[in-house]
Amino acid sequence: MQAAKPLFDYPKYWAECFGPAPFLPMSREEMDQLGWDSCDIIIVTGDAYVDHPSFGMAIIGRLLESQGFRVGIIAQPNWQSKDDFMKLGEPNLFFGVAAGNMDSMINRYTADKKIRSDDAYTPGGMAGKRPDRASLVYSQRCKEAYKHVPIVLGGIEASLRRIAHYDYWQDRVRNSILIDASADILLYGNAERAIVEVAQRLSYGHKIEDITDVRGTAFIRRDTPQGWYEVDSTRIDRPGKIDKIINPYVNTQDTQACAIEQEKGPVDDPEEAKVVQILASPRMTRDKTVIRLPSMEKVRNDPVLYAHANRVLHLETNPGNARALVQKHGEIDVWFNPPPIPMTTEEMDYVFGMPYARVPHPAYGKEKIPAYDMIRFSVNIMRGCFGGCTFCSITEHEGRIIQNRSEESIIREIEEIRDKVPGFTGVISDLGGPTANMYRIACKSPEIESACRKPSCVFPGICPNLNTDHSSLIQLYRSARALPGVKKILIASGLRYDLAVESPEYVKELVTHHVGGYLKIAPEHTEEGPLNQMMKPGIGTYDRFKRMFEKYTKEAGKEQYLIPYFIAAHPGTTDEDMMNLALWLKGNGFRADQVQAFYPSPMATATAMYHSGKNPLRKVTYKSDGVTIVKSEEQRRLHKAFLRYHDPKGWPMLREALIRMGRADLIGPGKNQLIPLHQPATDSYQSARRKNSTPAGSHKVAKEGKEKTTKILTQHNGLPPRASDGGNPWDKREQAKAAAFARNQQAAKERKEAAKGKGPKPARKPVVPR
């Protein structure tokens, strides 16, 4: 992998003399206090401004400040007019535009396309402070305010919409956001390198349209430049452009012989190799190779071509071997340079070591910002994820090569939280990242890592070239909890348990010292079909981790529980898969309260499955096998009802589905049955979220004339599994009713078959229990 210029090696801009600001200014008054007559760069964001390294605009703003630029912030502007976009004046270099820490559509709408009632990134949690497709709207308002100021588009919304992409909310393929936003350049992925390079070049007087060689950027081009080799990948079921084969009997080092071959005229024999010109292998010149994807118009009209384009995109995500991509939109090309080179540990320390205030801007007063309250005592120790889960966009945004901070940098941040952040009680709420236990885990060979094109390092099994040593993370945990004034270090980030089981010492360290009552993990499903489409390990790996977790919990003398998370309605999931998952949940005593339905986020592989019905994990053709897709609102509700099998509201739907599936035997009071025969007189079920203020989940159950207190394990209260199925016990008559119900269903089925001439007509007399 090629080396990149370190972030801290650039010459500082002249405005460095002003020094760092306590907060990046949000008003003219603050600029006056700092002695600024103007801003060099203005960042427009859909989030409230929190000067903390968990918020993208704070990282980019402080990084540009460290380069000597004067950076202003316009947070959550009123987008109904250009006025708010002019309040800091005209920037000298460019506007940096981002929707915020989340895609604005995902931020506003649930997976069922219902409007959310709150926004965690807004003061007071108030919803409606940002528009739909915020990056697009903000960019157009910036152009309206100052027509000639360049627009640099960034953030996760721009990153995941950089290409022609399926939009779940409109159920159609949309243009690259670069086109719709009328921006000048788009930065995707970890944008630190790109934003510094672009800012430096603009400060030297370069034109924004001339900046075309920065990795991690997308921009508009009219044609492919000279010296580039273009690979045609606009069609499937047939090869793209292929180099002419050189005569194998000619020594290519012998220039005279090659010249003779080149001078040969046409020959009649079609089997003879024809040398038109000698080209280096595209493999040897990847830095001058571009892959032409199917045009926006083609992928919009052909879902199979869309899946093919998605596959090509994901094969070109490794910074060590990725080639440039180009996609035509109408008469112009959108060009995508290869992904950015991952940051080194020294650069990560530099980015996280900048002078963040670590609190919201004073302009918000005492208003609470929920997202900040959730992370103010947490520490990000790394970036990236090599898991490759198809429903997740972390790999597409941050990459699959882990970028680590040093232990010294992390310890300094913990000390800073301890000494500076108001309300600290001695508990660090999280020491993690996209995945809690990928810190300093990487490929054993840099050469293999640079050449690898696999979408995951841990599916279908852990790659033998992956170093799964957790010793650096174990040492970090020990150093962190030994700090004076730190009482507890919790791990709240998602755990990759198939990696964890490779290091029993890590599991023991985690369980003994860093679990706060319960630990969240995400098996996502129990059945092979959906798990394969997710690229997740089998449920057997979860069982193995569970045994280790319980063993070390017992040895530590603690009461701790695993809380597994699951997804409903994911591509590749059948009704039978969800039924089997529900049976597993009941058999293991789990009651999932907060259900996660599959959310087709832009550019994710699973989203391509959802839209096309094809599997981009393998070669896509018109004849390749399809993927089971759950699209109808009714079926999505059914899959969620299976996950919440214990909720009486879903029982009518489940009864109907089980009968339709020929599984009426699962309706009844038995231990191995899923739901009861009859609805309760009143809806006795209460969501754990609605009873958070009550004592933790105990309730009384009548059993054999006695009262017994049991506890229910949900995803929210972390309490132990119930000793029984809970609810009122079923007597013999109720059991007989259930058996009779199943027999009646069978009799009805036989009558239908008889009516069609498939068998003798049975008696119509219903079967009733005695």
Annotated binding residues for [4Fe-4S] cluster = 385, 389, 392
For strand 698-703 and strand 172-174, is the pairing parallel, antiparallel, or unpaired?
unpaired
Write the secondary structure of 445-513 as one string of H (helix), E (strand) and C (coil): CHHHHHHCCCCCCCCCCCCCCECCCCHHHHHHHHHHHCCCCCCEECCCCCECHHHHCCCHHHHHHHHHH
Please tell me what DSSP assigns to residue 342: P
Residue with token string 């690259």: 176
Please tell me what DSSP assigns to residue 588: T
Provide the residue count of the chain: 770
Write the secondary structure of 182-193 as one string of H (helix), E (strand) and C (coil): CCCEEECCCCHH
Which two tokens mark 460? 């279908």
Write the secondary structure of 626-681 as one string of H (helix), E (strand) and C (coil): ECCCCCCHHHHHHHHHHHCCCCHHHHHHHHHHHHHCCCHHHECCCCCCCECCCCCC
β-bridge partners, 428: 489
Which two tokens mark 728? 């009122």
Q: Is the dihedral of CA 158, 161, 164, 170 positive or negative?
A: negative
Q: For 139-173, give one letter per residue: b (16+ CB within 10 A) or e.
A: bbbbbebbeebbbbbbbbbbbbbbbbbbbbeeeeb
What is d(CA 757, CA 760) in angstroms, rounded to the nearest whole number? 8
Provide the Cα torsion 685, 689, 695, 696; round to 10°: 90
Please tell me what DSSP assigns to residue 125: G
What is d(CA 33, CA 292) in angstroms, rounded to the nearest whole number? 51
Integer CA distances (angstroms), 665 to 561, 581, 591, 662, 746, in order: 32, 16, 21, 8, 10
* C-alpha closest to that of 104 among 164, 146, 43, 167: 167
Which two tokens mark 359? 């609190």
What is d(CA 686, CA 716) in angstroms, rounded to the nearest whole number? 13
Which two tokens mark 370? 């929920």
Q: Contact 435/495 with Cβ under 8 angstroms? A: yes
CA angle 387, 393, 398 (to 5 degrees): 75
Q: Contact 718/518 with Cβ under 8 angstroms? A: yes
Q: Contact 150/187 with Cβ under 8 angstroms? A: no
Q: Contact 288/227 with Cβ under 8 angstroms? A: yes
What is d(CA 208, CA 184) in angstroms, rounded to the nearest whole number? 7
What is d(CA 491, CA 521) in angstroms, rounded to the nearest whole number? 11
* C-alpha closest to that of 393 among 114, 103, 57, 100: 103
Write the secondary structure of 17-82 as one string of H (helix), E (strand) and C (coil): HHCCCCCCCCCHHHHHHHCCCCCCEEEEECCCCECCCCCHHHHHHHHHHHCCCCEEEEECCCCCCC
Find out whether the peptide bond into 460 is cis, omega within 30 degrees of 0: yes
